Chains A and B, each alone.
Chain A
Amino acid sequence: MNIFKLSFKNLLASPLRSLLTLIILSMGVALASLLILVGGALDDSFKKNIRGIDMVVGAKGSPLQLILSSVYQIDNPTGNIDLAEARKLAKNPQIKETIELSYGDSYKGRRIVGTSHNYVELYNGSLNSGQLWEKPFEAVLGADVALEFDLKIDDSFYSSHGIDGMGHDHEDHPFIVVGILEKSGSVLDKLILTTPESIWEVHGNHAEGDSAQSQEITAMLVKFRNKMGIMTLPRVVNQQTSMQAALPSIEVNRLFELFGLAISTLQIVAFVIMGLGAISVFVSMITALRDRAYEMAMMRSMGASRGQIFGMIILEATLLGFAGTTIGVLLSHAGIAFLNKYANEQFGINIAIWQLTPIEWYLVLATILLCIFAAIIPAIKTARLDVSKVLSSYEN
């Protein structure tokens, strides 16, 4: 028999009260931990994919849509731009490097992007097998695409029009798989890469004489020579050309303001629930003080010190906090396991479920401390009970 066992038995002796506190605590922790993980992963995923891209040029329309479609490959393109006009812009001395992207077709919902090898370099992609594309209709698959459709080198497939996988098939031009990329955790994993000519030819856009004049691309990723370009180039493009320039960093920030509002609202909810958990611990301990005053006085009469009584109440709260956070973290990670599948599809989010992030450790620690804090006043009150008074009040 010891204090730990006594605390544990006391909690078990009032299962409903303990259970209620546990449920509230674990819900608060689960929600908070879920928000931390998803928020962090979204942030990571979005920041990772704009690395090295200072500006995107595409057809006029919504700048956010342009960024979402060209950088993250999750929205429809805003339209096409003239390749010649884009290349003229690329000669601007403030521009260091450009990558042209042609997209709009897909294979079973996976986007086919016609581009140069620089696009792979941009995300530090590397080949798992085979080689990069050289000729039209040679395709290199992102790691997830190869896995999903079980495609190997020399396999062939037909693309279909549109990016939702619902368009009509282009049955004249099969693509041949020549290479498969290593998983990079970037947008590359979900793409099928090929030459820009493949896209043009599929669409019957045969450019006779091979002049770039009549050809179109969907978007161009731009890297500036220095940060000064950010100040002037977007305005120049937007005012003096038929194209649109958008800055990924600004659009992503705008997106995060929207996300952020939802996340902050949920965070407040999480903290309110955790606050309720703390109040529940407080109430639980205060009622225990009332219901168990005689038992506590009896323990004192057996020789228990005030410190032991205090410790017992604090230990009960700690056990509740510990169990609550454990259940909460388990719940949130179970939620993540479900979400991984869905969010990975949508946003390229993949969260490790078998480990705790440092912030989660803080959350666990903070919740347990909160429980202890909530129990301090009841514990002091219980420890200071007038034993003689309590015992004699029950005797008569």
Chain B
Amino acid sequence: MTEGIAPVLSVRNLSYSYENGKVISFPDFEVSENDPLLITGNSGTGKTTLLHLLSGLLMIQKGEIIISGSELKSLSQKKLDKFRGRNIGLVFQQPKFIGALSVLENVLTAQYFGGGNVDSKRALSLLAKLGIEDKADKQTRHLSGGERQRLAIARALAAKPKILLADEPTSSLDDVNADIVYNLLAEESKENGANLIVVSHDQRLKANFENTVNL
């Protein structure tokens, strides 16, 4: 890998046609090392579709997405799963977890499926940094809304991904909490060596990003 020259992520000529025949074309963009990106757009502009394409949950029909030198389109389903586990951490709008597992076990599961080492020390230190280490052995349903957000971030970073993809992380929050969550995302992604990409229609976030793409 030629670091500093090759972008972490580059999107070219990407478009997606839905089952109902509707086609969405996405603008080209690139993300380089330590360069957080905000992807904005109103409902119906294909934000979630782009997010799923970027994380390999949807198969690319046309165009290309290159992450750290790998073209997603050329990967088999199985390799794509592995690639996603290793390289991409996802934070969803509604933080949800595996109900059968404790807080710590949810983080460990992300490490396990991420293909890295199951490292409970690292998992615990992540929880500690996010201020929820005392909940490590609790069931996730006993967490408050804020704690769930934090756990979702810890889980997304558990397997040391190159990219942290966050889907509408702040839209349902008030100004104070939106700020807290954004700061957590920005700090933790930086500290863990992950490039932050936020997909959101939340206009408040715009001030925080130099690099933005509008759909």
Contact = CB atoms under 8 A, between A and B. Distances in A.
Interface of A: 1-2, 6, 9-10, 12-13, 294-295, 298-308, 387-388, 391-392, 394-395
Contacts of A12: 100
12 contacts: A9-B105, A298-B97, A299-B98, A300-B81, A302-B113, A302-B159, A305-B81, A307-B78, A391-B92, A395-B48, A395-B94, A395-B168
Contacts of B112: 1-2
Contact of A302 (B114, B118, B168): B114
Interface of B: 48, 52, 55, 57-58, 77-78, 81-82, 84-86, 90, 92-94, 96-101, 105, 108-115, 118, 155, 159, 167-168
Given A1-B109, A305-B78, 13 more contacts: A6-B98, A6-B101, A10-B100, A13-B99, A13-B100, A294-B96, A295-B96, A387-B57, A391-B92, A392-B48, A394-B94, A394-B96, A395-B94
Contact of B111 (A1, A299, A307): A1
B84 A301 contact: yes
Contact of B110 (A300, A302, A391): A302
A305 B58 CA distance: 14
B136 to A, nearest CB: 13
Contacts of A307: 78
A100 to B, nearest CB: 74
- Ranked nearest first, the 3 interchain pairs of A and B with the lowest CB-CB distance are A303-B85, A13-B100, A1-B108
Contact of A1 (B52, B90, B97, B105): B105
Contacts of B55: 301
Nearest to A12: B100
Contacts of B97: 298
A299 B115 CA distance: 12
Contact of B93 (A10, A13, A298, A395): A395
A388 B57 contact: yes
Contacts of A301: 55, 57, 84, 90
A388 B52 contact: yes
Contacts of A305: 78, 81-82
B111 to A, nearest CB: 7
Contact of B98 (A2, A298, A300, A303): A298
B81 A306 contact: yes
Contacts of A387: 57
B200 to A, nearest CB: 13
Contacts of A298: 96-98
B33 to A, nearest CB: 22
Contacts of A306: 77-78, 81
Given A1-B105, A13-B99, A395-B92, A303 B57 contact: no
B194 to A, nearest CB: 15
B103 to A, nearest CB: 13
A191 B59 CA distance: 82
Contacts of A294: 96
